[in-house]
Amino acid sequence: MEHQPKRLRLLYEPLCLLRILSEVRGDRIKPGDIFPEGPGLSATKSYRSFVDAIAYICAYRKRPGYVTAAALEQTPDAIVILLAANDGIDTAVVTLLEKVLIILSWIIENPTVRLDTKEGREVMKILTVHVLGLNAPKIFEYYQQVNKLVSLVMGRLNAEPKLKDQDSIINLRKWISTHLSKEGLQLQEKDMQNLALSSYRDREVFKALHHTTGSLEHSHNFEQLHNLLYKLELSRGLRIETIGRSRENQIPLLARTCDIDNISHRIFSDPVKQDIFLQQVQQIYSKKELDRLLSKDVCKGKTRVHAELLVLDHFEQTGGRFLNEKNKYIGCSKPACYLCHMFISCHPRGYASPPSHQKLYLNWRLPDVRTHEQNAAMRFQHQQNVLLRMIDTVRGGLINDIATSVGKQTGFADSTAGGTSTIVDIETDLGPGVANLSLEELRVMLDRQGGAGRSVRENHMDPKFRPRGFPFYPIEVSVEAESDDSATGGVDI
């Protein structure tokens, strides 16, 4: 079921202009903005943090394709951990999560084990080793970023006579020279597990710096995961389901009509207002420059359904219940983009608004709806309502930005990928009696679970390797041939 391309263009055209004006729309929306930080962890906060942490440990590379969304669904027989990633979920992720679920089940079934006991610390170590094992590529990317910054930052600190002899700076310098290199050589990906562990253990040292580094961000997330386990009631069975990625579609823009005159003509029915808008636009960009930017690659762009919306649409399709229906929260390894945030917040089913970095990606699109799928008519209707609100918001934002002369910002960087959205069940056989295992038996079981010591990279280098959970589709590009009926300006939404 397709929305009218003409209608979709009413969203994408002003979006292109907004994207040219500024890559980021407004301030970041942090979790703390949604829940003002109070003492301790509320049930709602715990629930959200847990879902975010699951998504975070699954996004084992720091690239757009690996952005992962997660949610907890309540089914009659089990709690389902739903997962989707922009490029699909691969086997290595499922293998890790299966292990994490076994460990969680063991903890839940053994209520005497607490974080402050020896067994508790042991089991957390096992959990951490598995999580860090998969996440080595991501940590390595952070490590490389940290390395680039270190000499710069230390150079500055050393140049400050007041600072350079302070104990905290001396400790930091010592830590860097011992942990960020080995015998004068850069660390390798295989060293990342140890680096993450020592970063976490020695995190006090970093307090000498105010700004967090990648490693700190990690420590924080792992710590949260640890703390939250006891606050969740995951007493029933746990199961993993993955949602396939979407296919890649052509952005619904026509190069022929994607210029500033045409776009403003469609926004305004009043020619006077249109003229004012065009004059204001030209205080920021000349028409020629703007048209060049609008035509440049923008109309050749591809779109995909972002991970969060793949998960959201699963609930729309199946009518599934969230584990906590009062908190329909979809977690993600990254804050939501501007459009996902707007879509989720505008949706009539009342999904919880996620944190957002408010970046505008033109590779975004609404979830695909196919006639034979469950609840197709209702989903499509919901989308139409949301689309209208989004067009309205984007138009309003654009008019406001132009009127207040928001300055130029440049930079186009994003990647795209595609697929479809098929749910594939992956049953995790937790088996009976995990509860009765001793720690040693648990460890042996995890090793037998497969994947132990198997390198994730090998998976990707295997030419026959196909990430689990989605079929591959050829890219289909349909070229539209249609007339533009904009003889009069101002296309009503």
Under the binding rule (CB under 5 A), the answer on residue 298 touching Zn ion is no
Q: String of b and e for 191-200 (b: at least 16 CB within 10 Å)?
A: bbbebbbebb
For residue 364, the minimal CB distance to Zn ion (Å) is 6
Nearest to Zn ion of 8, 113 (CB atom): 8
Under the binding rule (CB under 5 A), the answer on residue 306 touching Zn ion is yes
* Distance, CA of 214 to CA of 319 (rounded, Å): 38
Nearest to Zn ion of 142, 338 (CB atom): 338
Query: Which two three-digit tokens encode residue 396?
Result: 């309003």
* 47: amino acid identity, one letter: Y
**How many CB atoms neighbour CB 35 within 10 A?**
13
Q: Name which of residues 401 to 440 contact Zn ion (CB under 5 A).
A: none
Closest residue to Zn ion using C-beta atoms: 340
* Distance, CA of 46 to CA of 275 (rounded, Å): 52
CA distances from 208 to 188, 192, 402 (A): 26, 22, 42
Q: Name which of residues 340 to 359 contact Zn ion (CB under 5 A).
A: 340
DSSP state of 203: G
Secondary structure in 3-state letters for 283-346 = HHCCHHHHHHHHHCCHHHCEEECCHHHHHHHHHHHHCCEECCCCCCCCEECCCECHHHHHHHHH
Q: Name which of residues 36 to 65 contact Zn ion (CB under 5 A).
A: none
| Near Zn ion by CB under 5 A: residue from 113, 267, 337, 362 | 337
Q: Per CB under 5 A, which region of 152-160, 239-247, 304-312, 445-453 contacts Zn ion?
A: 304-312
Query: Which two three-digit tokens encode residue 345?
Result: 């917040």
Nearest by Cα to 82 from 334, 304, 303, 309: 309
Nearest by Cα to 221 from 71, 55, 34, 73: 55
Under the binding rule (CB under 5 A), the answer on residue 29 touching Zn ion is no
For residue 363, the minimal CB distance to Zn ion (Å) is 9
Nearest to Zn ion of 354, 451 (CB atom): 354
Nearest to Zn ion of 187, 307 (CB atom): 307
Nearest by Cα to 209 from 159, 180, 171, 165: 171
For residue 334, the minimal CB distance to Zn ion (Å) is 9
Nearest to Zn ion of 302, 306 (CB atom): 306
Q: Per CB under 5 A, which region of 47-55, 172-180, 313-321, 331-339 contacts Zn ion?
A: 331-339
Q: Per CB under 5 A, which region of 271-279, 290-298, 306-314, 452-460 contacts Zn ion?
A: 306-314
CA dihedral sign, ordered 196, 198, 201, 207: negative
| Binding-residue total with Zn ion (CB under 5 A) | 3
For residue 214, the minimal CB distance to Zn ion (Å) is 22
Nearest to Zn ion of 53, 340 (CB atom): 340
Under the binding rule (CB under 5 A), the answer on residue 334 touching Zn ion is no
Nearest to Zn ion of 244, 335 (CB atom): 335
Q: Per CB under 5 A, which region of 1-9, 76-84, 296-304, 338-346 contacts Zn ion?
A: 338-346
Under the binding rule (CB under 5 A), the answer on residue 305 touching Zn ion is no
Under the binding rule (CB under 5 A), the answer on residue 304 touching Zn ion is no
Nearest to Zn ion of 70, 337 (CB atom): 337
Residues 6+ apart with CB under 8 A from 474: none
For residue 316, the minimal CB distance to Zn ion (Å) is 16
Query: Which two three-digit tokens encode residue 257?
Result: 């009509």
Query: Which two three-digit tokens encode residue 422?
Result: 């098929």
For residue 304, the minimal CB distance to Zn ion (Å) is 10
Nearest to Zn ion of 3, 179 (CB atom): 3
For residue 293, the minimal CB distance to Zn ion (Å) is 22
For residue 493, the minimal CB distance to Zn ion (Å) is 22
Nearest by Cα to 418 from 8, 93, 138, 85: 85
419: left (phi over 0), alpha (psi -120 to 50) or beta: left
Q: Per CB under 5 A, which region of 291-299, 300-308, 405-413, 445-453 contacts Zn ion?
A: 300-308
**How many CB atoms neighbour CB 164 within 10 A?**
14
Half-sphere exposure of 422 (CA within 13 A, CB side): 11
For residue 254, the minimal CB distance to Zn ion (Å) is 24
Rg (CA), the chain: 25
DSSP state of 395: H
Q: Per CB under 5 A, which region of 238-246, 330-338, 441-449, 464-472 contacts Zn ion?
A: 330-338
Nearest to Zn ion of 202, 414 (CB atom): 414
List residues binding Zn ion (CB under 5 A).
306, 337, 340
